[in-house]
Structure 1
Amino acid sequence: METDGVDLIAINDPYVDAEYMAYMLQHDEVHGPCRHTVEAPDRHTLIINGRQVTLMNTREPSKVDWRSGGARYIIEASGRFTSAKAARDHLYGGAEHVIIAAACTDVPQLLAGVNQTHYKGEAIVSCGSAAAHCLALFIKVVEDAFGIALASASVLQVCSTQELQQVCAGPAGENGLDWRSSTGGSKDVIPTVAEAVGAVRSMLPDLADNLFGAAFRVPAADGSASVIDLTVELKTGADLEQIRAAVSAAASCEPMRGRLGFRDDDVDGSDFEADGRSAIFDGRASMALSPTFVKLVV
């Protein structure tokens, strides 16, 4: 609603009607109340800042009538249709392009500020997860400014509980392969796959052999800020002031303006919950262990 040239026309959610969606927007536990006026004159219509948004409740993407509202670009953010085959069903309803807001291995993964020039007109692309945005934007600045030594970048990702995690311990999903997912997300620290590392390897193939990582899910609200601890050996030595200057310069101009940021005060996760930027370098929490060996928090 705040991006020039983009009109929100329709939303499809099989489980939520317009009245309940308006309520959730007005009472968001993580990001706070919506800054815009939100009304629901009927079960299938939202009025946001005076602009009408049609709400549909269809389970199967192939049956969503995007054509009737004139929607051309579909953001697939359900977390359930994250393959080319599954996302392609949106095209049957009249959509021209589908952007998968999650990691996806069988379509191009593109991110503004990182590799958007590689777009070749594909109907379906992935923009990766929020963690992938964070890591890709920041590591590109580090690579461009100082270079990253071979096989030297270690990523530790600490992220919040996901919507699909279990609140309490129980059976480990349909296939039962990931036993750790059966533990309670509201209580446990759970090791998981650092999918952001795989996404960045796809977006920046020149760094594919340099990146390794692990991830942990912690009992924090879904949607709250996560943190990435990047430990890396630089090809060109730099102190923290030089790294801060490189990040600040990149964040002040396109294509990273509004996506990358920098903080040098005492902050924690709650300070970023209403921040729309994808990656914010925490200069106070970072440290230089040597002129070429640095631990960077973003």
Structure 2
Amino acid sequence: MVPKVGINGFGRIGRVVLRNALETGDVEVVALNDPFIEPHYAEYMFKYDSTHGRFKGDIKVDGKDLVIDGKRIKYYQEKDPANIPWKDSGAEYIVESTGVFTTIEKASAHFKGGAKKVIISAPSADAPMYVMGVNEDTYAGANVISNASCTTNCLAPLAKILNDKFTIVEGLMTAIHAYTASQKTVDGPSSKDWRGGRAAAQNLIPSSTGAAKAVGKVIPELAGKVTGMSVRVPTVNVSLVDFTVRFAKDVTYDEVKAAIKEASEGPLKGILGYTEDDIVSTDMLTDPHSSTFDAKAGIALNKNFVKVMSWYDNEYGYSRRVVDLIVFVSKKDAGQ
């Protein structure tokens, strides 16, 4: 049975999760909630997307609901998650994509409206985090879970392969990250992050990220061995992980490439991509992989010290994994 899904927060990730759900057919989105976007504006925002292009299907508003390709999707505008009547639409798996309700306590408000499970589309301070292809097999039935971040989803599969094959001693990551909705079009106030308040399209902006440390949560043996930072760059979408790593074992760069290619064609197929083409960031727009290893972009200094580079569509690839995680969890919950 296809899981019935509700989405709370119809921003970038909420809309792209819906696009992925419609594209794959693996889940059925039956309800949306966003208190700040009325239905006709939601229709417009979903139909026209500056990054991923115009929606190719049919979408219209009927009463207060959206109808997409002939299927009705209930549309609510509740500010408090506890007041969203998910049960009325049959939504059991809720994608919490507001970026606000990211703890177990806050996300649990969805259960009052009839939700069965909440998947947070962001890192969480206390909910268990799962990265598809890395640690989803440790899922033990928690009702509130996190899909981690887009950058963790890019780095973790790569780190898992490298650690399994060659044993990572330590690693540093730089996420060369497209700007996001939280940044400014022109210089503006940002009291907690002064650099983050500078114009996104004009600057390279060093920033902090917990994405690398989060790898230690999904791969416990790497806890304390990997950390990193981010540089926000003037592109609207698609990011690049730069991971410099020291191995316990002697290895050549060709062996690193071979290990990653083997995984991309085997256990991590569909999650990890591999390319030897001379691609640039726009070539990865709307790519559904969590991570695409760029074989030509990496380099080795010696037998233990290697830099690897991997691309990710920080919206589309990440949102595809949200869908995949819901499918995985629903099967587990059903005892399959």
TM-score between both structures, scaled by the size of structure 2: 0.81
Q: 1:269 aligns with which of 270, 281, 291?
A: 281
1:200 matched to which residue of 2? 215
State whether residues 56 and 64 of structure 1, in contact with CA within 8 Å, keep that contact through their aligned partners in structure 2: yes
Q: 2:272 aligns with which of 245, 260, 277?
A: 260
Q: Write the letter of the residue equivalent to 1:16.
A: I
C-alpha separation in 1, matches of 2:82 and 2:225: 40
Shift of 1:5: 4.2
2:160 matched to which residue of 1? 140
State whether residues 187 and 219 of structure 1, in contact with CA within 8 Å, keep that contact through their aligned partners in structure 2: yes
1:236 matched to which residue of 2? 249
Structure 1 counterpart SS, 2:279: coil
Q: Superposition RMSD on alpha carbons, in Å?
A: 1.7
Alpha-carbon distance change, 66 to 214 in structure 1, aligned in 2, over 3 angstroms: same
C-alpha separation in 2, matches of 1:188 and 1:229: 19
2:30 matched to which residue of 1? 9
C-alpha separation in 2, matches of 1:38 and 1:128: 32
Shift of 1:236: 2.5
What does 1:1-298 correspond to in 2, within 5 Å? 1-3=22-24, 5-35=26-56, 37-42=57-62, 44-149=64-169, 152-172=170-190, 176-221=191-236, 224-254=237-267, 256-298=268-310
State whether residues 240 and 283 of structure 1, in contact with CA within 8 Å, keep that contact through their aligned partners in structure 2: no
Alpha-carbon distance change, 213 to 47 in structure 1, aligned in 2, over 3 angstroms: same
Identify which range, 152-161 or 24-33, moves more after superposition. Answer: 24-33
Q: Write the letter of the residue equivalent to 1:157.
A: A
Shift of 1:218: 1.5
TM-score between both structures, scaled by the size of structure 1: 0.91
State whether residues 35 and 76 of structure 2, in contact with CA within 8 Å, keep that contact through their aligned partners in structure 1: yes
Shift of 1:80: 1.6
State whether residues 19 and 43 of structure 1, in contact with CA within 8 Å, keep that contact through their aligned partners in structure 2: no
C-alpha separation in 1, matches of 2:113 and 2:214: 28
Structure 2 counterpart SS, 1:117: helix
Q: Structure 1: which 5+ residue stretches go unaligned?
A: none
State whether residues 114 and 140 of structure 1, in contact with CA within 8 Å, keep that contact through their aligned partners in structure 2: yes
Shift of 1:136: 0.8
* CA-to-aligned-CA distance 1:162-198 (integer Å, 9 cap, x gap): 21222222222xxx33222322223222221122112
State whether residues 43 and 61 of structure 2, in contact with CA within 8 Å, keep that contact through their aligned partners in structure 1: no
C-alpha separation in 2, matches of 1:2 and 1:184: 34
Structure 2 counterpart SS, 1:2: helix
Structure with the bigger RCO (C-alpha within 8 Å, sep 6+) is 2
Higher helix proportion: 2
Q: Write the letter of the residue equivalent to 2:282.
A: S
C-alpha separation in 2, matches of 1:195 and 1:169: 25
Alpha-carbon distance change, 69 to 213 in structure 1, aligned in 2, over 3 angstroms: same
Moved over 3 A (4+): 2-5
C-alpha separation in 1, matches of 2:110 and 2:70: 27
Shift of 1:98: 0.6
Identify which range, 235-244 or 65-74, moves more after superposition. Answer: 235-244
Identity over the aligned pairs, expressed in percent? 32
* CA-to-aligned-CA distance 1:80-117 (integer Å, 9 cap, x gap): 21122221111111111111111112111112211112
